[in-house]
Structure 1
Amino acid sequence: MVRSLCLNRFCDIAVIVRIDPQLLLRFLSPYRHYLVGERGMNWPRHPDVTNYRQSMQILITLGPDAPSRMVEGLYYVSQLSDDASCQQIVELAIDAGIDLGVYQSAPEDIAIRVWIENPSILLQAYAEKHRIKSMKFVSYYPRQTTIPDFTYPNDQILSKLEATLNYTYAYTRTGCGMRVLPLTKHNGFWLMIRHGAFMRRSGTVQNDGSVGQVVYRPEYYDSVIYNADTGELAVNASTKNERINYCKCLGFCLFGDGSFFDIQQRKSKYSLSPLIDLNRLSLVSCDIEEIESISLCELLIRHRSWQQDVEVRRADDVFAAIDEDSRNLFDDSSQIKLVRAKFRIKFLDQQIRHVTIRPPGTVIFDRASDYCVISSWLKKRGFLGAFCETTSSLTSPGTPGSPENGLISRL
């Protein structure tokens, strides 16, 4: 049985045939010694007659000896060849003064040309692409009441953070290769953190029909948001242990104290009491210009009894459903506890997304880039604790290519 060990990542090999032959050869040139000497590739004399079939055969069977930079470049090109990503790459490239070639270039051509000139631009676009995905944030606050003055972490501190995280992830057998990508530095920071996970094995079918096996380490991206006004650290990660690890590593690297953040969450950021005190009025959004309307679509209620009585109210509009049946949502507010609430938010662009709040410190967004807008609404309606009154002051990640975006220097 054939086995191959690939510790990098898979890429969409079909992207090879969509790249201009001259650009493909230019991209592969730094790895010519490996491709010709180690893999037996017949280097074409003329770029227009590149043997795509041979290139695909070689690239699809890459082993652990493959140049990681080559595999990484192909991966990012394949992941950022959609129209939306291409538009962002074009804007970033223009700001960086990169020549994009002929006007008729395909998205794959633009992506690989920019990778050749400045790979960090594709890293930035990829981090932004992950930022708009659904994310669950859990908030942690400093143990001390006085928030220290904030200094944006420079490259030296970020490198120290990468090294510290690499050590902890290697200790837990989830690999190294940590990369910290800063997206903003206004009144705090928003970091995208790339890391590995436990090894995976998958069965494969080789080109000759034989059965094989590939071993690889998946790639994940986590998000960390720090608010300098409140000292809040909002962490998006798969497991509780990973979230605690980020608290300790960031506390150590930024403030010299691994126990700087309270991992016991003794402060409650979110409260659902406005739903009881104000009912429908707690959903008013006319003072948030990006939002058209908000409705409560799900509510988890725990009744105070020995039977662990939990009630779930779910509807397109819970308050409207209650009104139609002339029912009372909260018969006795002293005998219940609101555990979780899910809101349906309609934005001015007619897009509908959801946000879920679970006290003391958990929020789930359909789209993480809504963080600041929704935090502003939560603050104005009283869903945030008194000590978080300035939570929404952290702006969205810097405009691509702006001086506030510190990613370019992180390659």
Structure 2
Amino acid sequence: MRLVFSNIRFKSLRATQPKTNPAFMREPASGELSALHQAASSPALRTDPLQAIDRQRNAYSPLERALLDFLHEAERAKEQGRWHDALHFLDSADALCTTYCLDAWKSHIAMHRGIAMTRLEQWSSAIEVLLPLVVHPPFRDDPSASYEILHCLAICTHQMGQLKLTETFLRFILHMLDRSDVRWVHTHLNLAGTYELMGEHEKAFQHYVHAAESARRLGNTHLEAWALIGLSATQLEQGSTQDVECMLNHAAKLAESLHDAILDYAIQHNRFMLKRVRQDFENFLHMYSTLVERVPNDEYRAKLWEEKILYDIMIHDWPQAESDLGEALQLPLTTPIRAQLLRLAGKCYLQQQQWDRAEFYLWRAVEALRACGSVEVYAVIRQLQWLRVRQHGEEGKGR
């Protein structure tokens, strides 16, 4: 199931400046407050700090003006979608704060650096920058900023396959939000998708149900369609076809007016899964030849290969199964999805009684499943234990 993390919003720097006096103020001379100090204390600064400060720009020191220039350039770059440039200016602002001990601004700049790093897929760097901010007092009391930080951390840990951490951050978000907030529905969908990857299908099902009901109540057809896709996928992954066709028909009806290519593909992909589970192989192969031309990304390409490999195993077409596995494992995938393919490779070689190759792939699957916190690791370990007992039995017979 594709996670539907809502688009990361690079919230305006103007909306998140320190509400207290910035630390880069000059020391007042002869007991007089600087113009910047006065501006920082005014109501205008609290509503639009950069704009309020700009009006008295000439009164600032070169250091103060340099910091403002970096923030303005970062703001302009993010509005134009130039994330590398935005990060460059934010890094410069951060370096300036570090050099001259402008501590009051550092945490706010750090938040925007973390968001930019997330947009640039610099996952580990974003986590390093954002994680300390989770317990930072100003952000703890600012629900909007807390959401941005936790949301980016959830994305980064998910992409790095650290699903237990993803679950933690998403649960924090869930407790922050009201049921009437569309982000509450997004979070349930993302938690459900995370539980799917962790092999906890019952939990995934419950969160998809919550998401579907809430999206319907809010009148959000897009998220309701995604929730129905998730519900149907959870059913199919457990080998059940109950109500799946009804769910997919309803999702398709909701999607008619949305013109979302990935949503349309996801519905067709689940219909494709349904054909395999029902062993309707003629229509399965026909859909495969259609979907392989439309696959939108590597994640869905891997899922498509996975379904094809399961079909190959069902009809005992071992050469084709091995060929498809080779293609699938070459894709650049996150750890949880790669773990499923490695487990499938182990299953393929177990059924061919190629014990050494089966053991090789199953151990790799165990490593990947452990890394992402999946409960499915225990089933794979049991397979390895059975394989080890069988190998010892054969060695005993040989003696």
Instruction: Please tell me the TM-score bracket, short chain as reference.
Output: under 0.3
Structure label with greater radius of gyration: 2
More helix by proportion, 1 or 2? 2
Q: TM-score, normalised by structure 1?
A: 0.26
Higher relative contact order (CA 8 A, sep 6+): 1
Q: TM-score, normalised by structure 2?
A: 0.26
